[in-house]
Amino acid sequence: MGSIETSEKDGVRTLHFGSALVQGAMRVARPWSLELEYTREMMLPLLLGAGRAWPRAVLQVGLGAASFTRFLHRHFPATRVAVVEIAPAVVAVARQSFRLPPESHHLSIAIAEAHEWLAGSRRRFDLVLVDGFDDEGNAGMLESLPFYLNCRERLAPGGFLAANLLTHRRPVHPVARRLREAFGERVQMLPPCSSGNTVAIAARDAAFPIDPAALREPALALKARTGLDLTPTLDRLSLR
């Protein structure tokens, strides 16, 4: 990993690992909001889960600028969030510059290689968020078949995985193939974001593809509750 740097422009603070590649962002005036488009799209399973109490437990692979951590801490305070981050320095910068909430009964942070951590875990999660890259945008084992198989194994009944696939430099098809090897046909690739990120949603049990029309009402309820507007994502899905 390169040097860890932050920059700020027009009220948005961004995280970099020694390159221009943005590893996370926070709007200083609204730190709990999800600033980057792909982070919002990774919350699509919130429309698919079972009831307002869902998710009870979330695994966040890759801390970055702590965007998911802040959002869940504010809007889902009863949810237990386990973060696995390989670099202690990223955690330190998130605490100093990105308002990482303190560890508590509902937030734990492990410094570990996520593939190894997950292989040794017996915990169950309703939602697994995978967003881990090095300074060159490589995810390593976090895009491998063994890792995805372990993710599926650790999902609770009705659980979902949401993964950020940084695809502006390479095709998405090899990663999509590995996801389908692990999850069968219970995988949906969302249309690419303007930034070049593609979000993949995989389900432990649910049948796909996602029906955008059926999610309109839950999306409006989520927006009223948290301010997160997923209707643009549903619009893009409707055009496919």
Question: In the structure, what pLDDT confidence band is assigned to residue 9 with cuts at 50, 70 and 90?
Answer: very high
- Give domain status of residue 141, yes or no: yes
- Evaluate whether residue 23 is within a structural domain: no
Backbone angles phi, psi at 129, to 5 degrees: -110, 120
User: Is the confidence at residue 183, as pLDDT, over 70?
Assistant: yes
pLDDT of residue 204: 95
For the cut 90, the answer to whether the pLDDT of residue 206 exceeds it is no
Span 75-86, mean pLDDT? Answer: 97
CB atoms within 10 A of CB 78: 9
Residue 154 maps to which CATH number? 3.40.50.150
Q: Please give the DSSP secondary-structure letter assigned to residue 200.
A: E
Contact 98, 89 (CB under 8 A): no
pLDDT classification of 167: cutoffs 50, 70, 90: low
Task: Work out the average pLDDT over 135-146.
Answer: 79
Looking up tokens 């386990």 gives 82
Task: Identify the residue with better confidence: 36 or 134.
Answer: 36
Assigned token pair, 238? 């409707």
Burial pattern 41-73, b for ≥16 Cβ within 10 A else e, equals bbbbbbbbbeeeebbebbbbbbbbbbbbbbbbb
Q: How many domains does the chain have?
A: 1
Does 70 reside within a domain? yes
Within 10 A of 162 (CB to CB), how many other CB atoms are there?
23
Q: What stretches of the chain show up as alpha helix (H) in DSSP?
A: 37-41, 67-75, 88-97, 114-119, 145-154, 173-183, 216-226, 231-238
Residue 147: is its pLDDT beyond 60?
A: yes
What does pLDDT average to over the chain?
92
Helix axes 216-226 and 67-75, enclosed angle (nearest 10): 90
What range does the domain containing 119 cover?
A: 35-238
This prediction's pTM: 0.94
In a domain, 11, yes or no: no
- Residue 168 pLDDT: 54
Q: Is residue 170 part of a domain?
A: yes
Decide if 195 is inside a domain. yes
For residue 80, being part of any structural domain is answered with: yes
CA–CA gap between residue 21 and residue 58 (Å, rounded): 26
7 in a structural domain: no
